[in-house]
Amino acid sequence: MQPKNLICNILSALKRYIIQFGGLSIGNHNFEFHVDDAFFENFEYSEIKEGDVFVDVSLEKQETMLILNFSIKGNVNIICDRCSDFFDLPISTNQQLIVKFGDEDFEETDDIFVIPFNEHKIDLSQLIYEYINLSVPIKRVHPDNKHGNSTCDPEIIKIIEGLSENNSTDNRWDALKKLKNKTK
């Protein structure tokens, strides 16, 4: 990701995720952000449409760089891989980003961004969006309840189990049908 994407084309709804670091003193500063349904609406292809996530950012401003530590915690509403029903998935992640002030030919990585010396603000919305998505596991299923039973939609599970049972017992069904016909 290029730093230009972070700074330019800021949608008004995402303005509150901008940190104006230009006026900050050298040292530590804390910021709190809340991510709600309206946040995800700004990301057209987002799999997550609803969420309730708190983002704490501790920002250390130095002469030549910013060190940002993100602590992200909350719930996102996502579709279950097993029963296709939506459910609230708890997420929690900690991430660190280093923003260096310098020329564009500085080498960038996923964790290090370079922005020009004359820049005085940074938009964190895209980053927060990516961090939230990174914290969502590949396999998303309804959690088990305290008795160790699945909390998936029971109606759907019944149908799915019925389908797989029919497939695996085709031969037995056939045998049963033959038997029935004989006894008629």
Q: Give me the residues that bind Zn ion (CB under 5 A), please.
A: 80, 82-83, 142, 152
- For residue 162, CA distances in Å to 21, 24, 159, 165 come to 58, 62, 5, 5
**Nearer Cβ to Zn ion (23/148):** 148
**Nearer Cβ to Zn ion (139/180):** 139
Minimum distance of Zn ion from residue 65's CB (angstroms):
44
Minimum distance of Zn ion from residue 138's CB (angstroms):
15
**Nearer Cβ to Zn ion (161/174):** 161
Minimum distance of Zn ion from residue 72's CB (angstroms):
24
**Nearer Cβ to Zn ion (83/132):** 83
Secondary structure element (H or E) that encloses residue 97, with its range: strand 86-101
Helix, strand, coil content of the chain in percent (nearest 5): 30, 35, 35
For residue 116, the number of C-alpha atoms closer than 13 Å in the C-beta half-sphere is: 4
Helix (H, G, I), strand (E, B) or coil at 149: coil
Report the distance separating Cα 64 and Cα 109, nearest Å: 17
Under DSSP, the state recorded for 17 is: G
Residue 112 neighbours by CB distance under 10 Å: 14
**Nearer Cβ to Zn ion (131/142):** 142
